Amino acid sequence: MIEIRELTKFYGKGSRMTPALSNLNLSIGKGEIFGIIGHSGAGKSTLIRCINLLERPSSGEVWIDGVNMTGLNRKQLQSRRRKIGMIFQHFNLLSSATVYDNIAFPLHLDGRPKAEIDKKVKDLLALVGLEQHATKYPAQLSGGQKQRVGIARALASDPDVLLCDEATSALDPQTTASILKLLLDINQRFNLTIVLITHEMHVIQRICDRVAVIHQGGIVEQGPVAEVFIKPQHPVTREFIMRETDQGEELQAAIAASHPSSSQTVRISFLGDKTYESILSRTVRRTGVDFAILQGTISTLKNVPYGLLTVRFEGDEKAIRETTQELSAQGLDVEVIGG
């Protein structure tokens, strides 16, 4: 659906030229919710703006549905862009227009008949749950309601792709959850491809199918969300996940605290139904090792349960080895993180 090939973007000129993206490659499938996460300055906004050519790449190509966006002339690009919706962190609504007129705006630009516009806007108001607010102005809405208008406006031209530029960063946690739920609903209903950028792993965790981690203008890691969560490879990915799963200083202190010489600290990841099974207790009962829980969380990756448990096994070396082997054989992911 979206193919990004050797994308490079420089800002500035001559000796002041600095690269924001370097030879970046990415492939996003039809109907996917694809998350791109990175720290401030990593190149996220530049990347998402290069997808619809709001930023023109210095070199490389962006293909959407078999069309090379970088090869289009101005007119062709304008027409192609109608099929790429975008929503923004600060909503970018017209402050002097009502909710209704904000949503109708792209349809007017497109010269659609009035009756068609009216039906479409009413359908979209219902879709985003704003039927009661059609005549209000943006200043009279909450942040979440403004983003709902942004989403309705972006969907007005029946896009194939929706680009989300930090769409929930200005919202509180509860409103963020409701906007993410709406995006997931839209994705499932219309098989709409969604690309979102964020600096928050919980956004990725809630709705994305796959994730790419961007760092210093390049993709350092990518894969299905569960895979990246369970086996993060790059230090930046690890940092984002540790922050999300509360594996910070307190856990490090617990790991470093005094403990019997014959022990091993492991991080066990549970995915799907295994999260709620008694695999650990059955295994230690058989092998005869004790364990102390240092940290534990259960959350979901999209709709799949995901558990993370850090435990210290205590017992003889051979029994501990048998325990970790058996847990792995039962489909859990076990990583030794300390003695």
Ligand X SMILES: Nc1ncnc2c1ncn2[C@@H]1O[C@H](COP(=O)(O)OP(=O)(O)OP(=O)(O)O)[C@@H](O)[C@H]1O
| Helix or strand holding residue 60 (H, E) | strand 59-64
- Interatomic CA distance for residues 77 and 138, integer angstroms: 29
Q: Which is nearer to ligand X, 44 or 210 (CB)?
A: 44
Are 288 and 281 contacting, i.e. CB atoms less than 8 angstroms apart?
no
The 3-state DSSP class for residue 2 equals strand
User: What CA–CA distances, in Å, run from 190 to 51, 127, 285?
Assistant: 21, 12, 49
Please identify which residue in 7, 26, 44, 162 interacts with ligand X, judged by CB under 6 A: 44
Residue type, 115: A
- Confirm or reject binding of residue 41 to ligand X (CB under 6 A): yes
Q: Which is nearer to ligand X, 83 or 199 (CB)?
A: 199
Residues 4-23 binding ligand X (CB under 6 A) are 11-12, 20
What are residue 313's phi and psi, to 5 degrees?
A: -85, 140
- Interatomic CA distance for residues 183 and 163, integer angstroms: 11
Residue type, 28: I
Q: Give the CA diameter of the chain.
A: 78
Please identify which residue in 38, 57, 85, 232 interacts with ligand X, judged by CB under 6 A: 38
Q: Which is nearer to ligand X, 18 or 258 (CB)?
A: 18
Neighbours of 187 (CB within 10 A): 18
Please identify which residue in 2, 45, 144, 179 interacts with ligand X, judged by CB under 6 A: 45
**Least Å distance between CB 25 and ligand X?**
17
**Least Å distance between CB 12 and ligand X?**
6
**Least Å distance between CB 40 and ligand X?**
3
Q: Which is nearer to ligand X, 46 or 168 (CB)?
A: 46
# binding residues, ligand X (CB under 6 A): 12
- Confirm or reject binding of residue 46 to ligand X (CB under 6 A): yes
- Interatomic CA distance for residues 303 and 223, integer angstroms: 17
For residue 16 the two structure tokens come to: 């002041």
Q: Which stretch binds ligand X (CB under 6 A): 36-44, 150-158, 221-229, 319-327?
A: 36-44
Q: Which is nearer to ligand X, 194 or 214 (CB)?
A: 214
Please identify which residue in 13, 14, 15, 40 interacts with ligand X, judged by CB under 6 A: 40
- Confirm or reject binding of residue 42 to ligand X (CB under 6 A): yes
Q: Which is nearer to ligand X, 198 or 265 (CB)?
A: 198
User: Could you tell me if residue 41 is left (phi over 0), alpha (psi between -120 and 50 degrees) or otherwise beta?
Assistant: left
Residues 187-226 binding ligand X (CB under 6 A) are 199
User: What CA–CA distances, in Å, run from 27 to 8, 47, 81, 135?
Assistant: 16, 13, 19, 41
**Least Å distance between CB 267 and ligand X?**
29
**Least Å distance between CB 55 and ligand X?**
8
User: What CA–CA distances, in Å, run from 33 to 187, 210, 245?
Assistant: 7, 7, 22
**Least Å distance between CB 97 and ligand X?**
27
Neighbours of 156 (CB within 10 A): 24
Are 1 and 16 contacting, i.e. CB atoms less than 8 angstroms apart?
no
Neighbours of 16 (CB within 10 A): 8
Q: Which stretch binds ligand X (CB under 6 A): 41-49, 152-160, 205-213, 328-336?
A: 41-49
Q: Which is nearer to ligand X, 208 or 268 (CB)?
A: 208
- Confirm or reject binding of residue 60 to ligand X (CB under 6 A): no
**Least Å distance between CB 48 and ligand X?**
8
Binding residues (CB under 6 A) for ligand X: these are 11-12, 20, 38, 40-46, 199
